[in-house]
C-alpha cells in the first residue's frame, strides 16, 4: 500500500482529444498524470483529428477551436489568424491534430517528470480503499489515485442485415480501413448512412479518383446542413423556459425571426442544461422523433465541403436517399442489396461493388470490444446510461455503478458521457468538461471565489 495515496498520479485511459486535453489541464493544475493509449497513431489526435485527408475539414470555425476555455483566442494565434475572415475559416482536421499534439508536448516540457506515457492496452482495474491499480496488457500495474476513462468514439457495430457480406465487399469500419483502395472495376459504392461519416467517405473516394456512382442511404435520407460563410454572432440569451414540444415550437418561431442557424447557436450555451431538465421519458421522445433533425442542423458542414458535395450531386455522382435495407447478399464479387424507399412498399435492388458502413459511432456498450470497459461492466463498476448512448455518469463525470452509486475514483469524459450531457462531442463542449474536471480533481475549483 502506498504511504501517501493522495500523491499518486491520476491515470487517464485514452489519449485522443478528450484524454490529451484532460492531461494537459491536469498538468497545468499541478497534478501528475499517467496517460495510457494503446494506439500510437491516436496519441494526441484521436479519431477525428488523426485523418490524413486535407479535404476533411473541421466542422467548427477556427475562432471557436481553442483548446482552453480561459483563452478563447489560443488556436487563432497558433494559426497566425487575426482578422474576421481568417477566424471564419474551417481548417483541415489534421492541422488541428498537430495543434493538439504540440500543446501536449509543451505541457510536458513545462511539467518535467509529471507525465508518463504508456503505449499499452488497459485491461482491468484492481480497487483498494484509497487507490487503484490499473492493469495493462503486459501485466504491468499502474498505481493511481483516480482512473479517468477517455475512450472516445467506438467503431460502428456490424449491421445484422449486412451479415451476409464479407470483406472486401463490405467495409465495416471506415475510420480504420482504406475505403478508396482496390476499387478498380467498381462502378457503384453504397454508403449506409447519410451523415458526417458518409460525407467524409464520399470526399475520400473523390480524392482517390473514384468516378463511379455513390449512393448514400439512411432511413430518412437526411444530410448535414452547411454553415454560413460568415458565422452568425449569437448574443447571450436567457435559457428558454419552455419544455418538450413547446420548446420545439419556440425554436421554430425564433428561427423564423433570425434564421435557423442563429436560433440554434443561441441555444448552444443551454443545450446541456435543457437536456438535464427534461425527464427520461421526454429525453427518449426527443431521441426518437427529433434527434435526426437536430443532428443535421446542429452538426454542420464547412462551406467548402458543402460546395464539393453539392457539385458531386449535380454531376450525378452522389445521391442521398431515404429508405431501409431489407436484405443483402454477395454475388460474383459484389453486393446485391434489396431496399425499400421511404414512403414506398416496393422493394428495389441495387448492385454495389463496395458497401461501406457510415452509421456513426456505436453507443451500445455491450457491443464494444474494449477490454477495460467490458471488465468494468462485468464487475458492476459501470453500466450503460438509460438511453444506451454511453456510460452512466453524474454531472461531475463520476461513473455510476450497477447499483446506482456514484464512484469517487472512477470518472469518464468525452463522447462516453453523452447520455448525461447530450452535447459532448464537439471541441467547445469537451474542452469545458475536461477543464472543470481537472480543476475539481486538483481542488482548483475552490480558487477565485467559486468556493471558500
Hey, do 5-154+363-446 and 160-225+301-357 end up sharing a CATH topology, with the first three levels equal? yes
How many CB atoms neighbour CB 320 within 10 A?
20
At 450 the pLDDT is 44
Looking at the DSSP bridge assignments, the partners of residue 146 are: 10
pLDDT at residue 449 is higher than 50 = no
Separation of alpha carbons 311 and 330, rounded Å: 31
CATH class of 160-225+301-357: alpha beta
At 153 the pLDDT is 87
Burial code (b: 16+ CB inside 10 Å, e: under 16) for 71-99 equals eeebbbebbebeeeeebbbbbbbbbbbeb
Separation of alpha carbons 407 and 136, rounded Å: 22
pLDDT at residue 35 is higher than 50 = yes
Model-level pTM greater than 0.85?
A: yes
CA dist list (Å): 379 to 131, 351, 359, 375: 17, 46, 30, 6
Beta sheet of 132-136, edge-to-edge order: 122-127, 132-136, 141-144
Separation of alpha carbons 8 and 146, rounded Å: 9
Beta sheet of 10-13, edge-to-edge order: 115-118, 33-36, 10-13, 146-149, 406-412, 398-400
Q: What is the mean pLDDT of residues 111-116?
A: 95
At 232 the pLDDT is 65
Phi, then psi, of 394 in degrees rounded to 5? -95, -175
pLDDT at residue 51 is higher than 90 = no
Q: Say how many CA atoms lie within 13 Å of 323 toward its Cβ.
A: 23
Our measurement of the distance from residue 356's CA atom to the centroid of its chain's CA atoms, rounded to an integer in Å, reads 19
Ordered by start, the domain boundaries in the chain are 5-154+363-446, 160-225+301-357, 244-298
Q: State the CATH architecture for 5-154+363-446.
A: 3-Layer(bba) Sandwich (3.50)
Q: Which of 76-80, 189-193, 254-258 has the lowest mean pLDDT?
A: 76-80
Q: What is the mean pLDDT of residues 17-46?
A: 90
What is the tens place of the pLDDT at every residue in 127-176? 999 999 999 999 999 999 999 999 998 888 789 999 999 989 999 888 87
> By percentage, how much of the chain surpasses pLDDT 90?
74
Amino acid at each position: 500500500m502506498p504511504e501517501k495515496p493522495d500523491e499518486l498520479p491520476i491515470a487517464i485511459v485514452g489519449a485522443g482529444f478528450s484524454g490529451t486535453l484532460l492531461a494537459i489541464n491536469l498538468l497545468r493544475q499541478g497534478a501528475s498524470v499517467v496517460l495510457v493509449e494503446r494506439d500510437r497513431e491516436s496519441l494526441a489526435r484521436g479519431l477525428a483529428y488523426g485523418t490524413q485527408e486535407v479535404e476533411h475539414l473541421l466542422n467548427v470555425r477556427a475562432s471557436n477551436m481553442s483548446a482552453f476555455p480561459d483563452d478563447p483566442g489560443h488556436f487563432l494565434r497558433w494559426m497566425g489568424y487575426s482578422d474576421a475572415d481568417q477566424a471564419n475559416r474551417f481548417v483541415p482536421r489534421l492541422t488541428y491534430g498537430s495543434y493538439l499534439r504540440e500543446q501536449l508536448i509543451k505541457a510536458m516540457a513545462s511539467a518535467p517528470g509529471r507525465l508518463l506515457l504508456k503505449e499499452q492496452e488497459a485491461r482491468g482495474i484492481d480497487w483498494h480503499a484509497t487507490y487503484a491499480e490499473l492493469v495493462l496488457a503486459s501485466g504491468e500495474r499502474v498505481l493511481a489515485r483516480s482512473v479517468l476513462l477517455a475512450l472516445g468514439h467506438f467503431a460502428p457495430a456490424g449491421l445484422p442485415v449486412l451479415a451476409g457480406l464479407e470483406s472486401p465487399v463490405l467495409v465495416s469500419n471506415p475510420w480504420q480501413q482504406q475505403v478508396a483502395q482496390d476499387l478498380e472495376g467498381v462502378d457503384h459504392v453504397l454508403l449506409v448512412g447519410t451523415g458526417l461519416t458518409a460525407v467524409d467517405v464520399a470526399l475520400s473516394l473523390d480524392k482517390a479518383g473514384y468516378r463511379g456512382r455513390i449512393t448514400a442511404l439512411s432511413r430518412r435520407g437526411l444530410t448535414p446542413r452547411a454553415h454560413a460563410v460568415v458565422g452568425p454572432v449569437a448574443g447571450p440569451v436567457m435559457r428558454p423556459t419552455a419544455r418538450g414540444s413547446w420548446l420545439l415550437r419556440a425554436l421554430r418561431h425564433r428561427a423564423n425571426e433570425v434564421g435557423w442557424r442563429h436560433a440554434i447557436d443561441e441555444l448552444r450555451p443551454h443545450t446541456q442544461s435543457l437536456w438535464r431538465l427534461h425527464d427520461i421519458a421526454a429525453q427518449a421522445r426527443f431521441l426518437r422523433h427529433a434527434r435526426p433533425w437536430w443532428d443535421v442542423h446542429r452538426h454542420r458542414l464547412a462551406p467548402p465541403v458543402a460546395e464539393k458535395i453539392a457539385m458531386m450531386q449535380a454531376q450525378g455522382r452522389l445521391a442521398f436517399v431515404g429508405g431501409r435495407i431489407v436484405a443483402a447478399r454477395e454475388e460474383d464479387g459484389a453486393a446485391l442489396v434489396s431496399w425499400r424507399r421511404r414512403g414506398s412498399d416496393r422493394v428495389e435492388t441495387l448492385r454495389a461493388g463496395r458497401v461501406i458502413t457510415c452509421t456513426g459511432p456505436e453507443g451500445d456498450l455491450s457491443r464494444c470490444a474494449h477490454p477495460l470497459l467490458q471488465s468494468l461492466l462485468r464487475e458492476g463498476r459501470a453500466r450503460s446510461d438509460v438511453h444506451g448512448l454511453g456510460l452512466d455518469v453524474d454531472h461531475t463525470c463520476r461513473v455510476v455503478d450497477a447499483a446506482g452509486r456514484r464512484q469517487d475514483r472512477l470518472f469518464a469524459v468525452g463522447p462516453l458521457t453523452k447520455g448525461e450531457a447530450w452535447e459532448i462531442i464537439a471541441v467547445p463542449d469537451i474542452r469545458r468538461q475536461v477543464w472543470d474536471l481537472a480543476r475539481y480533481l486538483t481542488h482548483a475549483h475552490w480558487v477565485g471565489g467559486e468556493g471558500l
